[in-house]
């Protein structure tokens, strides 16, 4: 519970980086040989690959593809994602994809939900819808509709 609270505080204060104690506390990684300095460097490469290169749009991405892209060992990349982002690779990947899908659903109203799904890297409608609903609490169609209702409501308030 204490570790969870620390993670929440770090996340909402804007610091995703975990403390060295947390970094070394994973029994699973005791013998990995990954130093904190290496981990921080890998973390930066992962963030660049996702935020600048938008590697998540690749519909065949897997941990090996990401590792090759940033030229790091796949086990170290996995450890950094698990430790510094407190997620597994696919949860991390889907969060970026859904964030982009949310943006496209609102900024490109003429794009179909299916087109958005493919644009952000999903191959399956079922996996897209379930990931979208898990992360946002709404289906993609409901998300778009709710945003449009909110926008119309704001416009009416400005006119009054």
Residue 31 has a pLDDT of 64
Q: Are 84 and 60 in contact (CB under 8 A)?
A: no
Residue 26 has a pLDDT of 61
Residue 65, pLDDT > 90, answer yes
Maximal CA-CA distance, the chain: 65
Alpha-carbon gap, residue 68 to 138, rounded angstroms = 34
Mean pLDDT of the chain: 83
Region of 121 on the Ramachandran plot (φ > 0 left; ψ -120 to 50 alpha; else beta): left
DSSP element (H, E) containing 127: helix 125-136
Q: Are 100 and 56 in contact (CB under 8 A)?
A: yes
The CATH H-level (homologous superfamily) assignment of domain 93-159 is Homeodomain-like (1.10.10.60)
The verdict on pTM exceeding 0.95 is no
Residue 114 has a pLDDT of 97
Which residues have CB under 8 Å from 94's CB, separation 6+?
Answer: 131, 135
């Amino acid at each position: 519970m204490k570790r969870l609270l620390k993670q929440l505080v770090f996340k909402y204060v804007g610091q995703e980086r975990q403390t060295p104690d947390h970094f070394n506390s994973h029994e699973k990684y005791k013998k990995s040989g990954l130093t904190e300095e290496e981990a921080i460097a890998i973390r930066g490469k992962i963030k660049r690959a996702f935020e600048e290169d938008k590697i998540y749009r690749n519909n065949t991405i897997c941990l090996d593809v990401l590792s090759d892209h940033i030229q790091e060992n796949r086990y170290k990349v996995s450890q950094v994602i698990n430790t510094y982002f407190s997620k597994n690779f696919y949860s991390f990947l889907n969060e970026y994809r859904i964030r982009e899908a949310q943006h496209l659903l609102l900024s490109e109203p003429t794009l179909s939900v299916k087109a958005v799904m493919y644009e952000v890297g999903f191959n399956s409608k079922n996996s897209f819808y379930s990931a979208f609903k898990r992360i946002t609490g709404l289906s993609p169609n409901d998300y778009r509709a709710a945003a449009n209702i909110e926008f119309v409501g704001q416009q009416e308030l400005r006119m009054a």
